[in-house]
Amino acid sequence: MAGNSQRRGATRKAGTKKGAKVGTGGHGRKSLEGKGPTPKAEERTYHKAYKKPVSAEKSATSGRPSSGSSRSASGSRGGRGSSTHEIVSGRNSVVEALRAGIPVSTVYLASKLEADDRTREIISAAGNEGYPLLEVSRAELDRLTDGSVHQGVAIQVPPYAYADDEDLLDIAESLGQAPLIVALDGVTDPRNLGAVLRSAGAFGAHGVLVPERRAAGVTASAWKVSAGAAARVPVARVTNLTRTLQAYKQAGAFVVGLDGGGDVAIADLPYATDPLVLVVGSEGKGLSRLVREQCDAIASIPIASAVESLNAGVAAGIALYEVSRQRA
């Protein structure tokens, strides 16, 4: 089935005039004298303009991110994502993010942290780049990371900046390689997205494509599982996955879906050496009907009957390995 073919907006009534009003005779003069000039907003203790810098000062003293800089449910890195920040925790994830040059708002280190090569590199990078470095208690780190395993280290990064779908093709072209893109259809667990990113980075994929709705985004959980691959593998977020797949096909790519009821075994994966989009469905529902209709082939991964299905990260890893093997 393998092929080498090329695809490419009170007004007052007019005419009326206010008549003269009867005066107070000066009896209300005292009440008109007022209480002096109105104090500035920043001087009124009940006003939010007064409270904001006070809150920010307390946050900086305690090492806590101020309001508007908390973890994001959608997790983005600027641009087309959320306006809030993300907390990335764990020594490997933090080191990889720093090595990739991801902008950092704050570096958090646990008090009395046992140093190793990774923590020394983190401290050195924070010093070289001028990142704010705060020493906090482990209880505070637990709060910042929602109780995840942070290994005494965490960083606050700006919102994730999603790429455009066309960027993924441009990356491949700049490298002189046939595009290899992983598209996720209905994958809602950010940990699965993180696993897919890790596999994509390991096997040379040029990016990952996710829908804007009913799909996982690049959150702190995805960062953690990706082991830093989220810093190296671009993720594009699109409004309509089906239309994007159609556009990719018009640009010359083939689309292969992964499904247990596929018509070809993964070992015989077609179009591996051509411009290729691998589509991974959700663990429960698999590929949606509209997405399935865009596939040039459906490949299946043989598994034991006792196992109902593989999660998205595992399935993507196996398929990407096969593509890498054939391209080698």
- Burial of residue 74 (CB within 10 Å: 0-12, 13-18, 19+) is middle
The residue type at 259: D
- Give pLDDT, residue 146: 86
Tell me: pLDDT of 103 over 70: yes
* Closest C-alpha to 291, from 228, 233, 227, 246: 246
- Give pLDDT, residue 66: 36
Phi/psi for 154 (5° steps) reads -155, 155
Do the Cβ atoms of 226 and 240 come closer than 8 Å?
Answer: no
State both tokens at 188: 């809602």
Task: Report the alpha-carbon distance of residue 244 to residue 83 in Å, rounded.
Answer: 25
Task: Report the alpha-carbon distance of residue 278 to residue 256 in Å, rounded.
Answer: 5
Tell me: pLDDT of 262 over 50: yes
- Give pLDDT, residue 84: 62
Mean pLDDT, rounded, for 54-72? 38
Interhelix angle 165-175/241-250, rounded to 10 degrees, is: 30
User: 123 or 4: which carries more pLDDT confidence?
Assistant: 123
pLDDT tens for each residue of 242-258: 999 999 999 999 999 99
